[in-house]
A and B are shown apart, each in its own frame.
Chain A
Amino acid sequence: MDVRAQIVMVFNLDKCIGCHTCSISCKNIWTDRKGAEYMWWNNVETKPGVGYPRHWENQERFKGGWVVDGKSLKLKAMGKGPTLLNMFFQPNLPKIEEYYEPFDFDYGNLAGAKAGDDQPTARAFSQISGKPIEEIQGGPNWDDDLSGSQIYAAQDPNLQEKQVIDSYASMFMQYLPRICNHCLNPACAASCPSRAIYKRGEDGIVLVDQEVCKGWRFCTSACPYKKVYFNWDSGKAEKCIFCYPRVEGGQCNACAHSCVGRIRYVGVLLYDADGVEGAALKGDAELVQAHRNLILDPRDPAVRAAAKKNGISERWLDAAEKSPVYTLVKEFGLALPLHPEFRTVPMAYYIPSLSPVLSTWGDTHKLLEHGMIPALETLRVPVGYLASILSGGNREVIEEALKKLIALRVFMRSANLKKESDSAALAEAGLDAAAAKRLYRLFTLASYDERNVIPPQQREEQDPERRKQQGGFGILKKTGRGR
């Protein structure tokens, strides 16, 4: 058992209102720079939809992630030899248009235009070429809130029942906030010929070493989530850094901190590094269980002993015990990995969203007939759709999670109405009253420190003189072309 620690984020999709505050705070801190205008390390997309970049889930186009090859894993795109041969022209690289051509508006013209008969306008111009854009062709949320759903939502590869988007009666939507998953088996790192992308041993954050990256661009397509971006100015790859300068000091990520719906939880998971490849080799439907099996119980003395042997400190073990992520992912099985079938063993987890019973005119008033826990196939968001996104097609794990969430609501509703609390529904879903109260607290009242249990990094635990040696003022060197 090779116990390692990983810092993990959980998203409660049921509470995401799609306000994009997370994206904006991330953008303002990290990607408000030349060459990075089009990058959204954190983005929120509407599902069903094609997302950002468009069709990122389509691995036939981008060849991201891993595939099982007999008894081992291999990158879907290409092996090492072909990597060398495709170094000059990387065939799977996304185009700028598949994200969008970044633009701004010429606001200066509003005040600076020459006197004339017409009101001056602020025309859109490209942030790359600087030339005016007559018609903007895309943006970071081009299909936000189902806009253009016949074009975009209809192409969502997870949506089997395409007809649901044809009528308002059956239409549904939900939001999917995405950051880098800081995978246990990152395809971006494996694809890098320069070895610039690495996983930090202590907390599992995946980073691009900007000094080592030569811009060979294999990572951008190898990441099945398209969360490694090519900076067109610096000629290097960039990605979400899990706000490590904040997290190292015990603060939570900017996206999680600014989340108005408080949908995000940040905490530590312990996992068995020896089992990662084996877990990723499992069949699609078994992948969620394989993820859960990888995650170790921080209260287990054997795990603690092995963790200490690996240099995981007492404070990290304490944080792992209090981790809301452990509660949601392993203990209650509510949070599920995003597209586990890409086999990168992603370490961001999503609690599926609830949805009302799909009712049409006529049976709207007969809702109570559906009982306290309605049949899940009557829910507006098809279970198969959620399964395609969050469980590699395994409907059972989605149903289990949804049942728990509904039972929790039923239970708390009766408690709030001072009725006899309905433990039957809870029991049916595999919960008890104590568990329900804990989850209720975590979902609703939990304070910042309960939602984000982030131990200080070893940097903080080092002697002051060593810590100061490693401190600095950030990057003061110039980057970019033409230098």
Chain B
Amino acid sequence: MLNNLIFIALPYAALALVLLVTPYRFLSNRLTWSAYSTQFLERKFLFWGINPWHYGIIPILTAHILGFAFPGLFKPFLGNQQTLLLVESFGLGLGLFALMGCLILLLRRVNSGMLSRVTYGSDWLVLLLLVFQAGTGIYVSYFLRWGTQWYLHSAVPYLWSVVSFNPQLGYVAELPLAVKLHAAGAFLIVAVLPFTKLVHLLYLPVDFLKDPPIPYRWRTK
């Protein structure tokens, strides 16, 4: 039952939402497509929250995505115990860094003068989900060792089975509860992504790296 919910219902619901709502929001009202920075109103705590969070979570998220996209690429490297140890400890450190960041971001929203006006239900939801996700991730990483390796042999084939519309629960059904919760958190985050300010991560500001400094727009050209 729980397996069906977490590994069949949730991922497909999340997939449907992100694939349908995101373009709808993009096409119907891009005026709400923003990172909704609050730095203008409060910056003292933000500095200690937003930097650890992003610098922690970006490498970790990238590692998860790369592991999913190119599992074959990483398998040979991770056979070595020392490499594995290095990757895992680095990942744990970054995870703790990210958790500290999003905890500070969560606490900074509590009882803060001007921020109260820019804090909505979706902000709480996103922050709580991120804290939950970082927390379960750290638990898995510390107590269920060598996740870097078994991720490639359990979650990755399962995720591929999901995207090929033939979900194989066999890969993940026997995983510990913490891992299941971590997976559920991930699917929830994907599901709320198109409804919240998280959409900002669907836009990578890299165009400007190659563009000339001043963009011109011509009505006639």
Interfacial residues, chain A to chain B (CB-CB below 8 A): 80, 83-84, 87-90, 93-96, 101, 126, 128-131, 185-186, 189-190, 192-195, 197-202, 210-217, 230, 232-236, 311, 458-459, 475, 477-483
Contact = CB atoms under 8 A, between A and B. Distances in A.
A202 B213 contact: no
A126 B114 contact: yes
Nearest to A277: B213
B14 interface: no
Contacts of B208: 80, 83, 192-195
Contact of B40 (A95, A192, A202, A216): A95
Main secondary structure of the interface of A (DSSP, over half): loop
Contact of B114 (A89, A128, A192): A128
B47 A478 contact: no
Given A87-B205, A202-B220, A477-B31, A215 B117 contact: no
Given A215-B37, A459-B219, A477-B28, 12 more contacts: A83-B208, A95-B40, A95-B43, A129-B114, A130-B117, A192-B208, A195-B211, A199-B216, A201-B217, A201-B221, A232-B38, A458-B220
Contacts, number: 142
Interface string B26-48: 00111111111111110100110
B214 A211 contact: no
Contacts of A80: 208-209
Contacts of A458: 219-220
B205 A194 contact: yes
Contacts of A234: 31-32, 34
Contact of B214 (A186, A459, A480): A186
Given A80-B208, A93-B40, A129-B113, A475 B35 contact: no
Interface in B1-41: 28-41
Interface stretch (B67-75, B118-126, B162-170, B177-185): B118-126
A201 B216 contact: yes
B39 A217 contact: yes
16 contacts: A88-B55, A89-B46, A126-B114, A195-B211, A197-B215, A201-B216, A214-B203, A217-B39, A230-B40, A233-B118, A234-B32, A236-B31, A311-B221, A477-B28, A479-B32, A482-B121
Contacts of B38: 232
A200 B40 contact: no
A459 B220 CA distance: 9
A95 B117 CA distance: 17
User: Closest 6 A-B residue pairs measured CB to CB?
Assistant: A482-B120, A193-B205, A235-B34, A201-B218, A190-B213, A235-B36
A232 B40 contact: yes
B39 A93 contact: yes
Interface string B54-86: 110000000000000000000000000000000
A131 B29 CA distance: 31
A189 B213 contact: yes
Contacts of B123: 481
Given A189-B214, A199-B215, A482 B122 contact: yes
B31 A211 contact: yes
